[in-house]
Amino acid sequence: MKTIIITGATAGIGFEAANFLLKQKKYNLIVGVRDAARGKAMTSRLIAETQNPNIQTLPTQVQTLPLDLSSLDSVRAFAEKISATEVYGFIGNAGIQHPEGLVRTSDGIEETFGVNHLAHFLLVNLLLKKYPALQRIVITASEVHDAAYKGALGISVPPPHYTTADAAAYPTDDGKSQVENQRRYSLSKLCNVFFVYELCRKLQQAGNQRITGNLFNPRLVPGTELARSFPPPIRFAWNNILPLFADRHPRVRSAARSGRDLAKLIDDDSITVSGKYFDADEITATSKESYDLGKAKELWDASVRLSHLKPDETIF
């Protein structure tokens, strides 16, 4: 059986992707979890959803390991604890927003940038080094990375403003502006795109045609925990009203549908492209800014420094 590593699988589209993969009966899953109780609850739900009691008796089929993406030390410890013989795929799905203030990681980095981009950047590099057989990498991005995106159902996020990785990691504002706080999310999603595009360029330059790296845009998926830090009225609408539009509005998807689309980027052998942006199940172009080679290289080089990635920890 093939081993897949997933972040952000305790709920939402990550859970649905894990659910879909398990139902194929050909994958072992390793899930990074910040909260052990939530990891246990996720496993119980997967048993119920897949009607597969072997998940409990076969510890290799669904294994949870501690992972706090707001700590670079935790990311390294997670990679060290993985004991699979080989790893076939990685899904970087975890993401956060902090609309109400400026929050920093244990490393002093702005947490939206740190969790959504930098932790996944470090983890992908560590996994590529540790598991040469790794073939599929998928990172969950978002349409809000594009300044031209107008939103769905009247919901929009301020467009990203990328200058340097250091400016994203160490913002100088006081966190009192909700606009700037929300902008950190769209900026982190632009960084996801820069990262995957630069990763694929480096793989191509190295002559590595075996590994595919792609981006996934789930569209607007209400009812997930992405809005857990929002004010109560917004959370109520997110959890109780907006889900009524899921799979009925062209830009609004249910977690189940988006989770399946995400999982298929790992499971569907007919998908052999790399360096592409899947808008749900359609390949589309990303923002004009996202193709800026200079910004992508600057982000990569700065991310190496910010994550303290050592030469012997990466294949590049």
pTM, whole model, 2 decimals? 0.94
Residue-level pLDDT at 168: 98
pLDDT value, residue 175: 93
Quote the CA–CA distance of 134 and 315 in Å, as a whole number: 12
Residue given tokens 């790296």 in the structure block? 213
Q: How far is CA 219 from the centre of its chain?
A: 14
Decide which of 153 and 59 is more confident: 153
Look at the alpha carbons of 132, 16, 255, 117 in this order and tell me if their dihedral is positive or negative: negative
Would you state the pLDDT for residue 58? 47
pLDDT at 59: 45
At 229 the pLDDT is: 66
Instruction: For the sheet with 277-279, list strands across it.
Output: 62-66, 27-33, 2-7, 89-92, 136-140, 212-217, 277-279, 282-284
Question: To the nearest 5 percent, what fractions of the chain are helix, strand and coil?
Answer: 45, 15, 40
Percent of the chain residues past pLDDT 70, beyond the cut:
95
Residue 283 is given by DSSP the state: E
Give pLDDT tens digits for 127-143: 999 999 999 999 999 99
Residue with tokens 């709920």: 11
pLDDT of 60 strictly over 50: no
Residues facing 92 on adjacent strands? 7, 139
Q: Are strands 277-279 and 282-284 parallel, antiparallel or unpaired?
A: antiparallel
CA distance 154 to 159: 15
Are 161 and 140 a contacting pair, CB within 8 Å?
A: no
Burial of 104-129, coded b for 16+ CB within 10 Å and e otherwise, reads: bbebebbbbbbbbbbbbbbbbbbbbb
Instruction: Kindly indicate the confidence band of residue 238, based on its pLDDT and cuts at 50, 70 and 90.
Output: low
pLDDT attached to residue 247: 85
pLDDT bucket at 157, cuts 50 / 70 / 90: confident
What does CATH list as the number for 2-313? 3.40.50.720
Helix (H) or strand (E) segment spanning residue 147? none
* SS3 of residue 105 by DSSP: coil
240-282: pLDDT as tens digits: 777 788 788 888 889 999 999 999 999 999 999 999 999 999 9
Question: H or E stretch including 230?
Answer: none
The pLDDT tens digits for 111-121 are 999 999 999 99
Is the pLDDT at 296 greater than 70? The verdict is: yes
CA proximity to 4, closest of 29, 33, 25, 39: 29
Q: What is the pLDDT of residues 165-204, one digit of tens each?
A: 999 999 999 999 989 999 999 999 999 999 999 999 999 9
Q: Average pLDDT, stretch 233-240?
A: 72
For residue 122, give the DSSP letter.
H
Domain segments of the chain as ranges: 2-313
